[in-house]
Copies of this chain bind each other. A is one copy, B any other.
Amino acid sequence: MQLSKSIEDYIEAIYILEQESKTVKSIQIATQLSVSKPAVHKAMDELQKKGLIEKTSYSGIELTAKGRKLAKEVYAKHMLIYNFLLQIGVSKETAEIDCCKIEHVISEETIACLKKQVHS
């Protein structure tokens, strides 16, 4: 499945919010990603069409098994890049900003190579 950058951001945000609060509300995602409520709404439509989340009107949002699997992959990539950046001396603040962007454009091959760099 080919996901757009923004869809990856949304699914990752849901995954992170899921771990903090039992049910994930649209407004939390909007706050987390600094986007408007309608932007979240449209993105949730999209995620639902792709079978990545479950949601009925005015209810909470839940990842499906498929959605959670994907979210975990995105998040793992995020953490790998983040840790690599810290390791080479980037500040936490910048590492967080940069890895959010890099995670959407980096190839699997490069991810595999980075994996060997981290912790070494």
User: Which A positions have Cβ atoms within 8 angstroms of B?
Assistant: 85, 88-91, 94-95, 97-98, 101-102, 105-107, 109-110, 113-114, 116-117
Per assembly, the copies of the chain total 2
Contact B109 A88 (CB under 8 A): no
Contact A90 B110 (CB under 8 A): yes
Partner of A116 from B89, B91, B101, B113 at Cβ < 8 Å: B89
Contact B105 A101 (CB under 8 A): yes
10 A-B pairs in the complex with CB atoms less than 8 angstroms apart: A88-B113, A88-B114, A88-B116, A90-B109, A94-B110, A97-B107, A98-B105, A98-B107, A101-B106, A102-B105
Q: How far is the CA of A90 from the CA of B109 in the complex (A)?
A: 7
Q: How far is the CA of A94 from the CA of B107 in the complex (A)?
A: 7
Closest to A115 in B: B88
